[in-house]
């Protein structure tokens, strides 16, 4: 695992500066504390920070081909590199390392840019082909590893994190109004935007080519869930029967390393299944990690302990208090150079720091919700079908919404009133937009009151991101379309960003075997009835888990890695919140209407309205802006 960065100047007589590259590398040193590597060839410079996991002594970057005419810096892991290496050696290529990075270089020599289609892994890399004067940058299929870029008047600048790009003196910091609007709705900034105008994310499953000064971006992969709509009953039975072995193989592939491997264990079905498979691959050698919260309604450590004992991991538990979590809140923006309003980044960061005390590589359960239908919003879509069919429109718009709004406000973890109010608020909307409003924060109407007039946008502009994904999706069935949307937006923009930034801030590599290419191909062919069966989420995962895990775990519903944000905003975080959302500060910055923000805070404190998501979204942005905005 590493961090990468680089520059390519338009003027071929403008030399890349090694000292500047080193400075850019230092901003992402947490991603790779073991080594720094630089490559300079006239007007191009590449930089790398390395966290050594495979071939510890022999694979410092950059890596070169035999003639040293091609150089690469690489962030990630290629899980099928042993088989690729055998194939490339048979074709006549010579290797000087034992790592996975070199397979990309020789694969590029053998297959050109189509090499990305053969890679099974998580990655972002930059390859310089001196003979062709070509820069080739690619990002993995689902966006596990990040890559940002910008074009200035001088040339192209890129990096694993925005902070590496901002370290270049030719880059300006300007908030993108479209990105801010999207952040307020989704709680993250969707690709290809970043929060800064002119800085972009390379979308997952895409590559960027700068060929003799001409830049183009091309897709090389997408998940085609429409395949599942053509799967025969016989093929479905074959898929189901073969899934346990496939899951085992994916986990085994992702355990390849020259360092000890652990697992982040929540006690949910995804991470528990990963842990069970890891324990089968290497019995008695797996370390598992969890945190124990002092608030019972948010604590999952009991379930993690049950799983650890059942599958036989060496289990580590870190007890944490509300004070431990609260102390981290103001510091998150130091490594989050883009705002993210997912509060679970706080416990994820603490868990990553804890795991890093013992290992430098862990596996996690990310991806299971999106591939195998784990979110309660999917159940809500199914229920909404009956709700809209059975409850007349005038009742939905009047009586039902009025009743839901009168429910007493509770600050408990995903309380019943919170669920009912969210559900009722999504009726009579197109499913794709409804889905985002259930998951996200501010509605268009709420943003109209919040934003200053010159920043207000129409609903169609905000949800153009959703429309774009729906146009790309070739599936017909609603559940497949929602699953596709989750993968392309929430998973990529929130879940994977959270895990990457939290873990890499602690110099911990997290691999996610449920997003292994083997399982992506499998999920594309598996009918969604094996994912959401009636109202049972993760149906196939539960069938497999039934023979591997205690039934108490198999039958558990999804809880999520939550913290008591609603209570904190009206209690121990109130002072920080009042300070960061102070009217004078908001007037000075010029984004938000102070009276609207104050009204939200007053209603929340008085328990008139649970504004946890709205206030947390604003608080997160303001803390981020104080660190990175100026």
Position 178 confidence tier, pLDDT thresholds 50, 70, 90: very high
Q: Are residues 198 and 232 in the same domain?
A: no
- Per-residue pLDDT reduced to its tens digit, 376-398: 888 888 887 766 665 656 555 55
203 and 134 housed in the same domain? yes
Q: Which of 19, 81, 77, 82 is nearest to 51 (CA)?
A: 77
Distance, in Å, from the CA atom of 291 to the CA atom of 317, rounded to the nearest integer, reads 5
Element (H, E) at 350: helix 345-356
On the question of pLDDT at 356 being above 90, the answer is yes
Structure confidence at residue 411 as a pLDDT band (50, 70, 90): low
Main-chain phi, psi angles of 367, to 5 degrees? 100, -20
In tens, the pLDDT along 105-117 reads: 999 999 999 999 9
Asked whether the bond before 479 is cis by omega within 30 degrees of 0, the reply is: no
> What pairing do the DSSP bridges indicate for beta strands 155-159 and 2-9?
antiparallel
Same domain, 43 and 143: yes
In the predicted model, is pLDDT for residue 399 greater than 50? no
C-alpha–C-alpha distance, residues 482 and 432, integer Å: 7
* pLDDT, tens only, 511-555: 999 999 999 999 999 999 999 999 999 999 999 999 899 999 998
pLDDT of residue 404: 47
CA distance 54 to 62: 15
Which residues have a Cβ under 8 Å from the Cβ of 386 and sit 6 or more positions away?
A: none
C-alpha–C-alpha distance, residues 270 and 556, integer Å? 11
Q: Render pLDDT for 299-342 as a digit per residue (tens, 0 to 9).
A: 889 999 999 999 999 999 999 998 898 999 989 988 899 999 99
Within a domain: residue 409? no
Contact predicate 513/264, CB 8 Å: no
Can you give the pLDDT at residue 55? 77
Whether residue 266 is found in the same domain as residue 365: yes
> What is the distance between the alpha carbons of residues 521 and 161, in angstroms, rounded to a whole number?
29
> Which of 184, 219, 254 is where one domain is finished?
219
DSSP string, 512-546: -GGGSHHHHHHHHHS-GGGTSBTTBTTHHHHHHHT
pLDDT at 474: 94
Residue whose C-alpha is closest to residue 438's, from 399, 489, 367: 489
Residue 256 belongs to some domain of the structure: yes
Domain assignment of residue 268, given as a range: 228-373+481-553
Choosing from 219, 254, 269, the residue where a domain stops is 219
Please say whether the beta carbons of 167 and 243 come within 8 A: no
Give the pair of three-digit tokens for residue 553.
Answer: 């775990």
pLDDT value of residue 23: 97
User: pLDDT of 51-84, one tens digit each?
Assistant: 989 877 878 999 999 999 999 999 999 999 999 9
Q: Average model confidence (pLDDT) for the chain?
A: 92
Q: Of 386-395, 553-562, 587-596, where does the model show the most confidence?
A: 587-596
CA distance 605 to 360: 42
The percentage of residues in the chain with a pLDDT greater than 70, rounded to a whole number, is 92
Q: Please tell me the distance from the alpha carbon of residue 564 to that of residue 343, in angstroms, as a whole number.
A: 9
Domain count, the chain: 3
Q: What percent of the chain has pLDDT over 90?
A: 80
Residues annotated catalytic, as ranges: 2
What token pair was written down for 19? 């000292």
- Taking 50 as the threshold, does the pLDDT of residue 403 lie above it? no
Same domain? 181 vs 289: no
8 and 77 housed in the same domain: yes
Are the C-beta atoms of residues 82 and 6 closer than 8 Å to each other? no
Can you tell me the distance from the alpha carbon of 121 to that of 605, in angstroms, rounded to the nearest whole number?
46
Dist. CA 603–CA 314, nearest whole Å: 47
pLDDT at 409 over 70: no
* pLDDT value, residue 427: 60
Regarding whether 234 and 201 lie in a shared domain, the answer is no
DSSP-derived secondary structure letter, 379: H
Cα 441 from Cα 336, distance rounded (Å): 19
Rounded to whole angstroms, the Cα distance separating 100 from 284 reads 27
* Single pTM value for the model: 0.94
Residue 171 lies in a domain: yes
């Amino acid at each position: 695992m590493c961090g990468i960065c680089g520059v390519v100047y338009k003027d071929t007589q403008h030399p890349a500066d090694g000292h500047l590259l080193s400075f850019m590398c230092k901003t992402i040193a947490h991603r790779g504390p073991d080594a720094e590597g630089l490559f300079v060839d006239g007007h191009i410079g590449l930089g790398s920070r390395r966290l050594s996991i495979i071939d510890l002594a022999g694979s410092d970057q950059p890596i070169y081909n035999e003639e040293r005419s091609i150089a690469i810096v690489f962030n990630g892991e290629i899980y099928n590199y042993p088989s690729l290496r055998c194939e490339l050696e048979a074709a006549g290529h010579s290797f000087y390392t034992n790592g996975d990075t070199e397979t990309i270089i020789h694969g590029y020599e053998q297959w050109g840019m189509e090499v990305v289609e053969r890679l099974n892994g998580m990655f972002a890399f930059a390859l310089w082909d001196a003979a062709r004067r070509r820069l080739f940058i690619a990002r993995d299929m689902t966006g596990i590893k990040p890559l940002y870029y910008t074009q200035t008047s001088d040339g192209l600048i890129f990096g694993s994190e925005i902070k590496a790009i901002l370290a270049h003196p030719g880059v300006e910091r300007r908030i993108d109004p479209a990105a801010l609007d999207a952040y307020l709705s989704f709680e993250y900034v969707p690709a290809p935007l970043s929060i800064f105008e002119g800085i972009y994310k390379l979308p997952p499953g895409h590559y960027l080519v700068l060929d003799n000064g001409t830049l183009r971006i091309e897709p090389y992969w997408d998940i085609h869930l429409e395949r599942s709509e053509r799967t025969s009953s016989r093929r479905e039975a074959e898929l189901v029967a073969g899934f346990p072995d496939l899951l085992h193989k994916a986990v085994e592939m992702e355990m390849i390393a020259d360092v000890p491997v652990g697992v982040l264990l929540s006690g949910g079905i995804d991470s528990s299944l990963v842990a069970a498979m890891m324990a089968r691959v290497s019995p008695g050698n797996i370390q598992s990690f969890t945190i124990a919260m002092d608030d019972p309604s948010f604590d999952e450590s009991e379930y993690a302990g049950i799983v650890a004992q059942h599958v036989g991991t060496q289990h580590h538990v870190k007890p944490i208090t509300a004070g431990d979590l609260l102390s981290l809140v103001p510091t998150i923006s130091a490594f989050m150079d883009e705002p993210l309003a997912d509060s679970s980044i706080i416990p994820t960061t603490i868990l990553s720091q804890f795991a890093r005390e013992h290992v430098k590589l862990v596996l996690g359960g990310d991806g299971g919700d999106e591939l195998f239908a784990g979110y309660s919003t999917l159940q809500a879509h199914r229920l909404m079908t009956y709700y809209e069919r059975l409850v007349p429109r005038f009742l939905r718009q009047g009586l039902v919404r009025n009743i839901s709004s009168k429910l007493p406000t509770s600050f408990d973890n995903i309380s019943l009133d919170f669920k009912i109010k969210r559900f009722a608020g999504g009726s009579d909307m197109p499913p794709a937009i409804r889905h985002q409003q259930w998951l996200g924060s501010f509605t268009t109407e709420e943003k109209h009151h919040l934003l200053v007039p010159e920043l207000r946008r129409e609903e169609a502009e905000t949800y153009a991101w959703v429309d774009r994904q729906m146009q790309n999706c070739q599936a017909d069935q609603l559940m497949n379309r929602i699953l596709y949307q989750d993968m392309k937006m929430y998973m990529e923009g929130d879940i994977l960003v959270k895990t990457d930034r939290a873990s890499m801030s602690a110099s911990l590599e997290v691999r996610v075997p449920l997003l292994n290419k083997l399982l992506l191909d499998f999920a594309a062919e598996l009918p969604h009835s094996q994912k959401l069966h009636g109202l049972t989420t993760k149906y196939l995962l539960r069938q497999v888990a039934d023979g591997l895990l205690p039934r108490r775990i198999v039958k558990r519903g999804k809880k999520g890695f939550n913290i008591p944000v609603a209570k904190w905003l009206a209690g121990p975080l109130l002072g920080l919140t009042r300070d960061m959302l102070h009217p004078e500060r908001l007037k000075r910055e010029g984004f938000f209407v102070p009276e609207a923000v104050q009204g939200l805070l007053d209603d929340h404190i008085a328990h008139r309205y649970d504004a946890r998501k709205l206030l947390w979204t604003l608080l997160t942005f303001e803390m981020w802006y104080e660190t990175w905005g100026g």
